[in-house]
Structure 1
Amino acid sequence: MGAVSYDCDVVVIGGGIVGLSSAYAITREAPGTDVLVLEKEPGPARHQTGRNSGVIHSGIYYPPGSFKARFAVRGAEEMVRFCAEQGLEHEVTGKLIVATERAELPRLHALVQRGREHGIPVRELGPAQIAEYEPAVRGLAAIRVGTTGVCDFGAVARRLAALAAEGGARVRYGTEVRSVGRDARSVTVRTADGTVVRARALVNCAGLHSDRVARLAGDDPGMRIIPFRGEYFTLRRPGLVRGLVYPVPDPAFPFLGVHLTRGVDGEVHVGPNAVPAPAREGYTGRAFRPTEFAETLAFPGAWRLARRHWRYGAGELRRSLSRRAFTAAVRRMLPEVSPEDLVPAPAGVRAQAVLPDGSLVDDFLFAEAPRTVHVLNAPSPAATASLPIGREVARRALAALGAIQV
């Protein structure tokens, strides 16, 4: 059998923060490994990474032993250190999680216990102590989580791209992958312009399109990405909020509810509510891609999800259609706010993995196949956890390289 000619050792599909962190980690863990990142957009971080509220999450919500807990707790500390070392704007603000109804108090106390299990500094607050941190916020009780902060994840992604390039990686923008082939010794990727890239291993960090890329490679991902549009507002009176204020989350969902976050730019972001999007990159209510919408409708898990959680979904849709309904949700914590205080802001789309039985995948999801590593579910807090996630992907990718007989 003749020698195989490779264009690179590892080809990474996706130039968001996870793909770029993975490329950076590979160049650090195995210097000299030839890494090529393919990103269909003209620059990095154009989707989930660049369209969030910029919160460095503490990891308090996530079950002990889960990828989310392990990577977010470690990743929050590493992200703050990375931003400081790289001169990127950031701030460790802490945050309040506020209970506004008695029924939420047991869940709030459970978060206190979980925070302590993770070694996260947590302080319990009564109504008067809430006002010391956030004078305009009202609640029956709250906890303050000290390790939460904010940064610009788009800037972090750009810096990771530069560091990966310094380590020898190449990043090609405007390069959309159309097909993936795999044989006994290589992975072959063909792009929209007809370019063919032959690699020893492939890493799929395609985010909103991760399940599609898995199928292109001939693998059954066992899930489907269902896009949820997260709609945000900015607060016309940002002085009403000093830092970060969250409700007590519903444990049945991986969404954290409508919250208030002051970003590094000084603006206060309000939201998001989460509504199904009829396009994977459906950032506006008018965005509609018939083929993608038909794929969602044809997936049994989407219907089972809708039947199981229709009441919750109806509430999200109502808040999407009615500014007053959205305002009412915010006023549970911030009574002074009015509909006129909320200014529409750019939306994001969450790439949510859903199983055929309608279950929402509530953890980061990785899958491996010959010469291939798939990152199939990496929504929030993936940006926070991107540095340890990148190392995990690098470990798997390098193990795949080591298993190849050349």
Structure 2
Amino acid sequence: MVDADVVVIGGGIVGLATARAVLRSAPGTSVLVLEAERRWGAHQSGHNSNVIHSGLYYAPGSHKARMARAGAEEMIRFCAEHDVPVRRTGKLVVATRPAEVPRLDALVERGTANGVTVRRISKVELAEREPHVAAVAAAHVAETAVTDFSQVCAAMAAEIAELGGELRTGAPVERIRSRGDGVVLTAGDATVRARALVNCAGLHSDRVARLSGITPPVRIVPFRGEYFALRPERQHLVGGPVYPVPDPALPFLGIHLTPMLDGTVHIGPNAVPAFARHGYRWRDVDGRMLGDLLRDPASRGLARRYWRYGIGEFARSALRPLFVRSVRAMLPEVTARDVLRHGAGVRAQAVDDDGKLVDDFVISRAPRAVHVLNAPSPAATASLLIGERVAADVLDELVAE
């Protein structure tokens, strides 16, 4: 039997940031982090674009805008202090069709209102910055940076251990029972008693919430994001991150070009519905999850609302020429021979009861528990601030006992 004041379920970047924040805010609090996999940040935190976002996309004054803007600087400081590689790159957002120009201008206005250093640039300046990129209009964002969030997770785990926290990998939570003064969890071969729990289980956050006895306001539908990479001899085509103008009807940023710290240029991700919570490949199928989704009215509403988009994403996933054609809108010199498959990530996309994609944080409190049920982008960027917010909530639960 293991005893702790706070148990954090999930060793991704938000769970680790929360455990770190609890220990820094309330020294002497005993904290245990449980991670089902054998390493930290094994899923979303370790399979993303590794971009530290600026706060360009979010409604002025919104929680996400403030978290991204302040969280980006906090993350860059954390990386510098913990010897995690980070590079301020800036980025370009490009309109490839005249119809996208008004949306680009709206992004510039929105970013400016959020305190982001963003401006429209001329075609001459675009050609100087990215001579191989084609666009009818473009904007430059100064604050964007690139890091390695897997290394960030490892640094957070090391700091948690230094602060006196306990960390366990290979410990999937299988059962949660409430008791008068806390909760009892079964995780692998261990039984854990805790005064309060934090659910940061990402792809499994709705399942963990139900294990704890609550009905979550959203359910998780996994979306696979597939990446390609430019062949080494073609990496010179891209100097810095280049993003399309996003579709405002969808919570995805679209396929973008991102040079990594090691020189690799990632292309992607798309957004394909996955057939398993860990559905990194087409052949990864969880029949039970699919059955649950098919029976869920919200999932049917999701399919009715976004079926055209879904067909397009499935086609781009199955047919490389279609994927490459979408890339050529920004980078016309690229050919199918220039791109190589480069893995995938799975996004935990929250869907509400009406079948709408939820594009905001969903953090729910319950007696002796805090559930992070949706942590979309900029969650990695703002993870240190999100962790502070969740830590404050769970410490309130301890005081309220």
Q: TM-score, normalised by structure 2?
A: 0.98
Does 2:287 align with 1:326? no
Q: How does 1:216-231 map to 2 (within 5 A)?
A: 216-231=211-226
Does 2:120 align with 1:124? yes
| Contact 2:96-2:136 within 8 A present in 1 as well | yes
Q: Distance in 1 between matches of 2:124 and 2:294?
A: 49
Structure 1: stretches of 5+ with no match in the other structure: none
**2:251 equivalent among 249, 254, 273:** 254
- 1:189-233 superposed Cα distances (whole Å, 9 cap, x missing partner): 11232x211100000000000000000000111111000000000
Q: Which residue in the other structure is 1:96 paired with?
A: 92
List 4+ stretches of structure 1 deviating above 3 A.
Answer: none
Q: Which residue in the other structure is 2:345 paired with?
A: 348
Q: Distance in 2 between matches of 1:266 and 1:401?
A: 46
AA partner of residue 105 (structure 1): V
| Contact 1:18-1:390 within 8 A present in 2 as well | yes
Please say which of residues 25-34 and 379-388 is displaced more in the overlay: 379-388
Does 2:73 align with 1:70? no
AA partner of residue 152 (structure 2): V
Does 2:327 align with 1:335? no
Any idea what SS the aligned residue of 2:46 has? coil
| Contact 1:186-1:371 within 8 A present in 2 as well | yes
Q: Distance in 2 between matches of 1:294 and 1:385?
A: 34
Does 2:229 align with 1:234? yes
Q: How does 1:231-380 map to 2 (within 5 A)?
A: 231-236=226-231, 237-380=234-377
User: How many equivalent pairs are there?
Assistant: 399
AA partner of residue 15 (structure 1): G
- 1:291-334 superposed Cα distances (whole Å, 9 cap, x missing partner): 11212222211111111111111111111011110011001110
| Contact 2:359-2:376 within 8 A present in 1 as well | no
| Contact 2:170-2:188 within 8 A present in 1 as well | no
Q: Which residue in the other structure is 2:49 paired with?
A: 53
AA partner of residue 109 (structure 1): D
Q: Distance in 2 between matches of 1:179 and 1:99?
A: 49
Q: Distance in 2 between matches of 1:345 and 1:299?
A: 33
Root-mean-square deviation over aligned CA pairs: 1.1
Q: Distance in 2 between matches of 1:130 and 1:303?
A: 43
Q: Distance in 2 between matches of 1:299 and 1:321?
A: 27
1:165 Cα deviation (Å)? 1.1
**1:191 equivalent among 166, 187, 193:** 187
Q: Which residue in the other structure is 1:176 paired with?
A: 172
**1:26 equivalent among 16, 22, 39:** 22
**1:154 equivalent among 150, 153, 162:** 150
Any idea what SS the aligned residue of 2:111 has? helix
Any idea what SS the aligned residue of 2:207 has? helix
1:69 Cα deviation (Å)? 1.4
- 1:32-77 superposed Cα distances (whole Å, 9 cap, x missing partner): 1000000011110100000111111111101123332121111111
Any idea what SS the aligned residue of 2:33 has? strand
| Contact 1:224-1:355 within 8 A present in 2 as well | yes
Report sequence identity in percent.
58
**1:11 equivalent among 7, 26, 29:** 7
Any idea what SS the aligned residue of 1:273 has? coil
| Contact 1:6-1:200 within 8 A present in 2 as well | no
With over 3 angstroms needed to count, the CA separation of the structure-2 counterparts of 1:151 and 1:335, relative to structure 1, is same
